[in-house]
Amino acid sequence: MSLVPFVFQNSKSGKKEPFQPKDPANVTIYSCGPTVYNFAHIGNIRSFLFVDVLRRSLLLGGYKLNQSMNITDIDDKIINESIKQKMSIEDFTKPWTEAFFKDLETVHVQKLEHYPKATESIDAMVGLVETLQSNGLVYEKDGNLYFSIQKFSRYGELSKIDVSGMKSGVRYDADEYTKDDVRDFVLWKNQKTEEEKCWHTSIGTGRPGWHLECSAMIRKVYGSGVDIHTGGIDLLFPHHENEAAQSLGAYPKEEFVGTWLHCEHLLVDGEKMSKSKGNFYTLRDILEKGYDPNAIRYHLISAHYRSKLNFSLGKLEESKTALERIQNTIYRVLETGSLWDQVPKKYDPIEFSVPELQKLNLEFMDSLADDLNVPKALASVFELVRIVNQFLDSKNSSTSGSFLKESLFLFYQINQLFAVFQFEKQVQSLEGISEEWILDQINQRKTAKQNKDFSTADKIRKELEEKGILLADTKEGITTWKKAQ
């Protein structure tokens, strides 16, 4: 299969550039992942779905991928929370890491090739600090090791931050940063209290600063830099600037990242999400209101990744309706053409013979290849829906065989990106299931949730869903059920 040429808006140059991976059969992509200390909110989920759109688009374009997302399982927040709850870091982060993977599965995010954890990459981090030390970029203060940004002339290249006003030796050692505040950042923190998690290493007894892990893990997984590095826009400065400083400071002759991609934030009702404003949603909050994961996925990916997405339950409803419109057309094609047994088992590109479909197929792919323009790709999907419905309404039979089969295939191909459409007959019957059994399942789920065993609770919800039973949790803690429509 020939490769589709992509262009990306590279944050490094601030311009759209042709994508030129070193090896299209092994495209290396690294994405900053979650800090595992609570449930991901829907803004986080948006940024993970952006990574999925990138992955699925490149796969459709014929590339082979070698992708990583890190799990930050050590930082200030994790340490503080685990101490508060008298738990080890491992025991504290385990259920949150599982919840993260569960959330990704719920919104059909494809599995990546690697999920390196910070706590399992300490050796690589220590090695990187030693390389930076021998390159003269590190100094020590009160047992902490800092990166001296004034000794690194390329500091600020990525985020275009102005370092000229920076006073020498101004340091920052917290894992949460004030934006635009240019300071030397901590590479390695010494242990401050007995209960704080630490590692005994050649650079001291302590733990890594937050930025260090990504540079070290990229090196550990790939032995070099990467073709693409992604993250939310809030990570551009200082996190990514600091990552670049560490990696280029250690290996000045190598390219660290070919293309930097940054995903814009999600707002709720026009505002930044915050718990105090009551506009803070986790994925689970929205599922518990009875919304379908497919509608959530469709909604969160349908805006361009570089636009702010203004989330509201009303807009989610609109997405649900749009999704149903496409789905109904797919069912119509399957039913009218008796094509239920002709749905491909796996995706393999075909040559389209019907000119309108050929054109829409090209337009769809061109839109994705143009910096992942999903809204434009969706316009082609709705044009497909329009012409297919027109065709079905007119009962034009002369080319019906190939038209319907190829439009089914085109929908199937489009679903390689969206991953929300069904191609099987829906089973609606609750035959053989008693209400008593359903209530027993609901009780078991409640107990699992009380025990913080979220994976069992989610498994029960999913099993019920597969049988056509939807659960809704009220604010008062009562769970109700209904038959899926």
Q: Are 110 and 55 in contact (CB under 8 A)?
A: yes
User: Using CB under 6 A, which of 171, 265, 376, 462 touches ligand AMP?
Assistant: 265
| Number of residues located near ligand AMP, criterion CB under 6 A | 14
Q: Which is nearer to ligand AMP, 41 or 462 (CB)?
A: 41
Q: At what angle do helices 89-106 and 76-84 cross, to 10 degrees?
A: 120
Backbone angles phi, psi at 268, to 5 degrees: -115, 125
Q: How many CB atoms lie within 10 A of CB 425?
A: 10
User: Using CB under 5 A, which of 29, 32, 216, 388 touches Zn ion?
Assistant: 32
E strand segments, 46-160:
65-69, 138-141, 144-147
Backbone angles phi, psi at 145, to 5 degrees: -110, 130
Instruction: State the nearest-atom distance from the C-beta of 230 to ligand AMP, in Å.
Output: 8
Span interacting with ligand AMP, options 40-48, 183-191, 367-375, 411-419, rule CB under 6 A: 40-48
Instruction: State the nearest-atom distance from the C-beta of 241 to Zn ion, in Å.
Output: 11
User: Using CB under 6 A, which of 6, 12, 28, 46 touches ligand AMP?
Assistant: 46
- What is the gyration radius of the CA atoms in the chain, in angstroms? 25
Q: Which is nearer to Zn ion, 114 or 459 (CB)?
A: 114
Residue 46 interface partner, choices Zn ion, ligand AMP, none, CB cut-off 5-8 Å depending on type: ligand AMP
Q: Are 89 and 196 in contact (CB under 8 A)?
A: no
Task: List the interface residues with ligand AMP, window 269-288 (CB under 6 A).
Answer: 273
Q: Are 147 and 192 in contact (CB under 8 A)?
A: no
Task: List the interface residues with Zn ion, window 196-235 (CB under 5 A).
Answer: 214
Q: Are 307 and 262 in contact (CB under 8 A)?
A: no
Q: Distance between CA atoms of 423 and 174, rounded to whole angstroms?
A: 50
Q: Which two tokens stand for residue 237?
A: 């400065």
Site map (CB under 6 A) of ligand AMP, residues 213-242, x = contact: ------------------xx-xx-------
User: Using CB under 6 A, which of 10, 11, 28, 35 touches ligand AMP?
Assistant: 35
Q: Which residue, among 349, 345, 258, has the nearest Cα to 2 in the 3D structure? A: 349
Q: Which is nearer to ligand AMP, 34 or 249 (CB)?
A: 34
Q: Name the residue with tokens 């140059």.
A: 13
Q: Taking the mean position of all CA atoms in its chain, how far away is CA 211? A: 19
| Residues near 466 by beta carbon (within 8 Å), at least 6 away in sequence | none
SS3 (DSSP) at 313 = helix
Instruction: State the nearest-atom distance from the C-beta of 367 to Zn ion, in Å.
Output: 29
Q: Are 51 and 31 in contact (CB under 8 A)?
A: yes
User: Using CB under 6 A, which of 47, 82, 93, 380 touches ligand AMP?
Assistant: 47
Q: Taking the mean position of all CA atoms in its chain, how far away is CA 315? A: 21
Contact between 385 and Zn ion (CB under 5 A)?
Answer: no
In eight-state DSSP terms, residue 112 is P
Task: List the interface residues with ligand AMP, window 439-468 (CB under 6 A).
Answer: none
| Number of residues located near Zn ion, criterion CB under 5 A | 2
SS3 (DSSP) at 111 = coil
Span interacting with ligand AMP, options 7-15, 18-26, 29-37, 137-145, rule CB under 6 A: 29-37
Span interacting with Zn ion, options 31-39, 61-69, 358-366, 449-457, rule CB under 5 A: 31-39
Q: Distance between CA atoms of 272 and 281, rounded to whole angstroms?
A: 11
Residue nearest to ligand AMP (CB): 232
Q: Which is nearer to Zn ion, 70 or 441 (CB)?
A: 70
Q: Which is nearer to Zn ion, 214 or 464 (CB)?
A: 214
SS3 (DSSP) at 61 = coil
Q: Which is nearer to ligand AMP, 273 or 460 (CB)?
A: 273
Instruction: State the nearest-atom distance from the C-beta of 38 to ligand AMP, in Å.
Output: 9
Instruction: State the nearest-atom distance from the C-beta of 74 to ligand AMP, in Å.
Output: 12
State the residues that interact with ligand AMP by CB under 6 A: 32, 34-35, 43-44, 46-47, 231-232, 234-235, 265-266, 273
